[in-house]
Amino acid sequence: MPTDPRDVVEHLRYYADLGVEGFSRDRAWRARAGTPSRAAAVTPAPEPRAEPASPSLAPHVTAPARSRVEALAIVRTDLGECTRCKLHKGRIKLVFGTGNAEARLMFVGEGPGAEEDEQGVPFVGRAGQLLTQIIKAMGLELEDVYIANVVKCRPPGNRNPEPDEIEQCEPFLMRQMDVIKPAVVVALGKFAAQTLLRTTEPISKIRGRFHQVGDTRVMPTFHPSYLLRNPAAKREVWEDMKAVMGVLRGNEK
């Protein structure tokens, strides 16, 4: 059994290609009737951590509790030590995203700033503190949501991300969303909103109402950095968040 996480990922992919959609950690499953089980013939190993199936087993379906966590880990592995665009040259840390892989609510920002670049965690600077306040005001904790950005590496001097950079990074954001399958995504600011909605409309025009993207509702709103410069706009953002809470509670208008 491979122990290196990359090998495990390859191993899991191999089985996925064969049609295996999940793995049980239950020993009984390995020795189930009709299966010429190698595992049953040897002294049982200690409880496996993320053990792939024995090659002798036929495909089966089990939904492991950590499947979204593992699926996100695969996306992260695929992203690797990314050099797909020029932003990698100036980064300290790639900022993949943090939070709950099972979140019903996801926030998408623009790209890491200086503090995020240092820590490898999204929204930990001043804008992040404001975002945390907004999340708590919604009755949620950071652990309840997932937070990511359109670009995963800091644009130099916090300049806007450029189209080629967004183009390279966006597929990984989409894969994160595909894995998490949040009911609602809040797009923070112009770049997140325009990327997710594939539009060039200004944020002031598209914010404040839901846009359907696949199975997910996207609520564009102002970016917390904008709110730091324009505190009066907090009122509009709060209206947007109330609409989001309505959907999450199942009593949307």
Site of interaction with ligand URA (CB under 6 A): 109-113, 116, 122-123, 125, 127-128, 149, 225
Chain residue at closest Cβ approach to ligand URA:
109
Whichever of 52 and 97 has its CB closer to ligand URA, that residue is 97
What is the closest distance, in whole angstroms, from the C-beta atom of residue 129 to ligand URA in the complex?
10
Whichever of 52 and 111 has its CB closer to ligand URA, that residue is 111
Whichever of 109 and 182 has its CB closer to ligand URA, that residue is 109
Query: Would you say 37 and 31 are in contact if contact means Cβ atoms under 8 Å apart?
Result: yes
Pairing type for strands 216-221 and 211-213 reads antiparallel
**H or E, element range at 50:** none
Whichever of 99 and 128 has its CB closer to ligand URA, that residue is 128
What is the closest distance, in whole angstroms, from the C-beta atom of residue 72 to ligand URA in the complex?
17
What is the closest distance, in whole angstroms, from the C-beta atom of residue 214 to ligand URA in the complex?
22
What is the closest distance, in whole angstroms, from the C-beta atom of residue 139 to ligand URA in the complex?
23
Query: Would you say 206 and 220 are in contact if contact means Cβ atoms under 8 Å apart?
Result: yes
53 contact partners, CB below 8 Å, separation of at least 6: 15, 20, 23, 30
**H or E, element range at 236:** helix 234-248
Whichever of 131 and 184 has its CB closer to ligand URA, that residue is 131
Strands (E), the chain: 98-99, 105-109, 146-149, 184-188, 211-213, 216-221
Whichever of 113 and 182 has its CB closer to ligand URA, that residue is 113
Q: What is the CA radius of gyration of the chain?
A: 21
What is the closest distance, in whole angstroms, from the C-beta atom of residue 244 to ligand URA in the complex?
18
Query: Would you say 172 and 79 are in contact if contact means Cβ atoms under 8 Å apart?
Result: yes
What is the closest distance, in whole angstroms, from the C-beta atom of residue 150 to ligand URA in the complex?
8
**What are the φ/ψ torsions at residue 246 (nearest 5 degrees)?**
-60, -45
Which residue in this structure is represented by tokens 């990698």? Answer: 88
